[in-house]
Amino acid sequence: MGRSLRVAVAGATGAVGLEMVKTLEKRNFPISELKLLASARSAGKTMKFKGEDVVIQEMTKKSFEDVDIALFSAGSSISKEYAELFRGNKNSVMIDNSSCFRMDDDVPLVVPEVNAEDAFKHNGIIANPNCTTAIMCVAVYPLHKAKGLKRMVASTYQAASGGGAKAMQELIDQTADVLAGKPAQVNVMAQQIAFNLFPHIDSFLDNGYTKEEMKMFNEARKIMHMPELMLSCSCVRVPVLRAHSESLNMEFEQDITPEEAREIIKNAPGVILCDDPANKVYPMPIDATDKYDVLVGRIRQDVSRNDKKGLEMFISGDQLLKGAALNAVQIAEVLNR
């Protein structure tokens, strides 16, 4: 790891911000000064970092005057408001977890296991991908490098954590209410989530897809440098607290067997092979929770084809870690090599 840096976490009290702080500590990122920034109502409170109390400060534009790296997880409107402090700035970098800069031509969209070199092409801002996209790309990219991905159909099983801390609490509250014979109160998510699931994450577009589904389509193409990748997604919210799962159907340019795929996954960064169905070993969100790596399993030949160019697999990854906080810290690590 390189030199000690002055680091700010914008939105430090949110679900992802909290994980960013924990991840910086767990990975022993070299920090000479840590600023924890949030709204005025949180200012003055403290958070633990390496056994010490760090006072949370109200975020203002002056907060970033002496910062090397700023990890942003405060929402798109805040990111847009502060972006000009970093754009073109050679001394400070914004690593942004919102969606607002991901498709900008001058902003790299980075998953370090896939396109770490893109981080060095930044103009002051680097974007963190959508959570489902990051989890998917980590698992799929090593197979693509070996066999040439051509087409993919993804179905997601996305936890309440994707909607933030309030969505997670709504799942808990609704579950308790239903079990007590009370009606579930829907205040945060689009529908009742307790004992239910629904194919509605973000708003619907004119083509019938949701913004979440099109994020996966566009972002995967950019991250993997595959502008012509054929990709279709259906994104579904499920009654799981944390960690997203995805079912992936993939078509490759070259023949690929499940045995070959397992060997590729075994030797790839950021993934763990969990593929022994006979012994009930397969990816599950309960096992992916709090894990840095994406779990990959249920690898099998696509029986709908008469060749060996198709594979099915199932993956699970922690939305708050690889899907957000961990990926942002990994980008910072790349910059500080």
In terms of phi and psi (left: phi > 0; alpha: psi -120 to 50; beta: otherwise), the region of 96 is beta
**For residue 334, which phi and psi values (nearest 5 degrees)?**
-60, -45
Active site annotation includes 100: no
The answer to whether the CB of 211 falls within 8 A of the CB of 202 is: yes
Catalytic residue, candidates 131, 137, 233, 235:
131
Active site annotation includes 131: yes
The answer to whether the CB of 186 falls within 8 A of the CB of 266 is: no
Query: Where is 296: in which H helix or E strand?
Result: strand 294-301
The contacts of residue 213 (CB under 8 Å, 6+ apart) are 201, 233, 234, 235
Return the beta strands (E) in 159-293 as ranges: 230-237, 244-252, 271-273
**For residue 192, which phi and psi values (nearest 5 degrees)?**
-60, 130
- Determine the Cα–Cα distance for residues 150 and 163; give it in Å rounded to an integer: 31
Catalytic residue, candidates 144, 233, 244, 274:
244
Whole-Å CA distances, 54 to 11, 15, 44, 49, 171? 14, 18, 9, 7, 31
Q: Which residues are catalytic?
A: 131, 244
